[in-house]
């Protein structure tokens, strides 16, 4: 593929609040040329604001890049340059890092195995770093005291490649500062799964909105769920939606914009209220926005004349692919409670049909699966140039939500 593209993975704190993004290049090899391409994309093709929003970004570099003049292309307060484990540590590198740190540039150590050999190797550059990212699967022997010693040297310790909630819990117990990995997008199944009262109420309202319930019954159902109605009004009137005039009631929403947008907002409300946090951005919410944006935009790219119904289906397949993460119960159980049509369930689990194909493509974009992306583009006779603005646009929409929600 001649074009490059950028992926990003959230780095969160102990409460699950988004702190930064780890940026990925489409290049399979991580070398000075790949880093230069990524920086060029951030600086020009995509734009750093579109990719990072208000967050900082981690960019992977090797020791050779530290001596490059490309540092000046990106604002030093927006990026952390993360040295690869393969980097050569010598006096020249230490001197250059000391010089650049004095000029305001910021550095980290990227995804390294916490071994005695590596601790000895990288100890000389620790004074010039702000963060160390520890590869959890390759660092089974790390102890709480080890983490404490790193923090005593002024380092923020990031647990990287955390694949499960149990592994995340272990990292929390050991005192890690931040966390990164696919555990964010995996459900934690509880032994006695249940829905909260608010979740039960929202599910009931969701099912009514999807059915032929008339407006009077809908309004009455919302009025009987005061807390849900209050949260919905606050959410819809937030800066996220940039409505010209405040919405004053559920009846106002229904008569002004109709059922479909209200269905979207009800489900987004559930994601925004997940984990009981109103003050901190929930990465899951931002994942939902990114996925639904890509689903609908890919649909329109392939079928510019797509109907409102087709767009709604694409949107909901994207959203429902993550809905189980809200409830912490098996995915199929959530879909059963939401009365999801069999064809949508097949799209979610088997990648069946057109919407399943769209979802598979979105997942390929999320993990930078170049082979999957190229297969999709070839099947639909698309050039990468048509895909790039969609990815950037979805990221920008996520950033708008991130900014509006504080």
The predicted model gives 223-241 an average pLDDT of 77
Q: Which carries the bigger pLDDT value, residue 226 or residue 217? A: 217
Give the pLDDT of residue 45: 59
DSSP state string for 23-44:
EEES-SS-SHHHHHHHHHIIII
In degrees and rounded to multiples of 5, residue 118 shows phi and psi of -70, -35
pLDDT higher at 95 or 249: 95
For residue 101, pLDDT over 70 is answered with yes
Where residue 1 falls among pLDDT bands split at 50, 70, 90?
A: very low
CA 250 to CA 235: how far, in whole Å? 12
233-252 mean pLDDT: 78
More confident residue, 326 or 76: 76
Residue 375 has pLDDT above 90, yes or no: yes
Find the mean pLDDT for residues 8-27: 85
Residues 6+ apart with CB under 8 A from 252: none
Give the per-residue pLDDT at 2.
47
* CB contact at 8 A, 290 and 395: yes
Question: What is the average pLDDT value for the chain, to the nearest integer?
Answer: 84
Q: Which of 161-170, 254-263, 309-318 has the lowest mean pLDDT?
A: 254-263
Whether 273 contacts 201, CB under 8 Å: no
266: pLDDT strictly greater than 70: yes
- pLDDT confidence of residue 20: 94
Q: Answer yes or no: are the C-beta atoms of 129 and 108 closer than 8 Å.
A: yes
What pLDDT band is residue 70 in, cutting at 50, 70 and 90?
Answer: confident
Calculate mean pLDDT across residues 295-307.
95
Residue 200 has pLDDT above 80, yes or no: no
**Does residue 235 carry a pLDDT above 80?**
no
Higher pLDDT, 255 or 303: 303
Distance of CA 164 to the CA centre of its chain: 16
Report residue 137 as tokens. 């699967």
* Predicted pLDDT of residue 323: 82
Q: Is the pLDDT of residue 335 over 50?
A: yes
Pairing state of beta strands 6-12 and 18-25?
Answer: antiparallel
**Between these two residues, 166 and 135, which has the higher pLDDT value?**
135
Average pLDDT over residues 281-298: 87
Average pLDDT over residues 16-33: 73
Q: What percent of the chain has pLDDT over 70?
A: 88
Between residues 308 and 100, the one the model is more confident about: 100
- Between 139 and 384, name the one with better pLDDT: 139
Contact yes or no for 59/35 (Cβ under 8 A): yes
Q: Quote the pLDDT of residue 277.
A: 45
Q: Contact, 279 vs 272, CB < 8 A? A: no
Q: E-assigned strands of 43-97?
A: 56-61, 79-83
**CA–CA separation, 170 vs 183, rounded Å?**
13
Give the pLDDT confidence score for residue 328 in this predicted structure.
Answer: 66
User: What is the band of 280 on the pLDDT scale with cuts at 50, 70, 90?
Assistant: very low
Q: What is the mean pLDDT of residues 140-145?
A: 88
The predicted model gives 54-83 an average pLDDT of: 89
């Amino acid at each position: 593929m001649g074009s490059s593209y950028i992926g990003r993975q959230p780095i969160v704190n102990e409460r699950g609040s988004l702190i930064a993004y780890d940026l990925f290049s489409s290049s399979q090899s991580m070398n000075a040329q790949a880093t230069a391409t990524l920086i060029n994309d951030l600086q020009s093709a995509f734009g750093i604001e579109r990719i990072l929003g208000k967050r900082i970004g981690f960019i992977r570099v090797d020791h050779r890049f530290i001596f490059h003049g490309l540092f000046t292309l990106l604002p030093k307060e927006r990026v952390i340059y993360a040295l690869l484990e393969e980097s050569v540590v010598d006096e020249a590198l230490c001197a250059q890092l000391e010089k650049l740190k004095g000029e305001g540039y910021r550095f980290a150590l990227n995804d390294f195995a916490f071994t005695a050999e590596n601790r000895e190797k990288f100890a000389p550059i620790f004074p010039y770093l702000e963060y160390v990212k520890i590869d959890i699967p390759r660092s089974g022997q790390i102890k709480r005291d080890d983490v404490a010693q790193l923090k005593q040297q002024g380092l923020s310790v990031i647990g990287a490649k955390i694949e499960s909630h149990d592994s995340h819990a272990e990292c929390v117990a050991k005192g890690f500062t931040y966390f990164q990995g696919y555990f964010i997008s995996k459900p934690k199944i509880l032994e006695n799964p249940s829905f909260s009262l608010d979740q039960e109420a929202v599910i009931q309202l969701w099912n009514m909105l999807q059915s032929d319930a008339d407006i009077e019954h809908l309004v009455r159902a919302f009025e009987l769920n005061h807390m849900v109605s209050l949260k919905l009004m606050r959410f819809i009137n937030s800066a996220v939606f940039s409505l010209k005039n405040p919405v004053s009631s559920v009846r106002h929403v229904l008569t002004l914009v109709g059922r479909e947008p209200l269905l979207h907002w009800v489900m987004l409300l559930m994601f925004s209220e997940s984990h009981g946090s109103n003050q901190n951005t929930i990465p899951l919410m931002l994942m939902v926005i990114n996925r639904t944006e890509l689903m609908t935009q890919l649909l329109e790219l392939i079928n510019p004349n797509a109907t409102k119904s087709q767009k709604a289906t694409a949107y909901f397949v994207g959203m429902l692919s993550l809905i189980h993460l809200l409830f912490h119960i098996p995915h199929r159980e959530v879909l059963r409670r939401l009365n999801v049509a069999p064809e949508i369930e097949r799209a979610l689990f088997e990648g069946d049909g057109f919407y399943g194909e769209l979802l598979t493509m979105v997942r390929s974009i999320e993990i930078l699966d170049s082979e999957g992306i190229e297969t999709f583009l070839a099947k639909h006779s698309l050039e990468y140039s048509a895909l790039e603005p969609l990815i950037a646009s979805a990221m920008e929409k996520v950033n708008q939500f991130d900014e509006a929600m504080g």
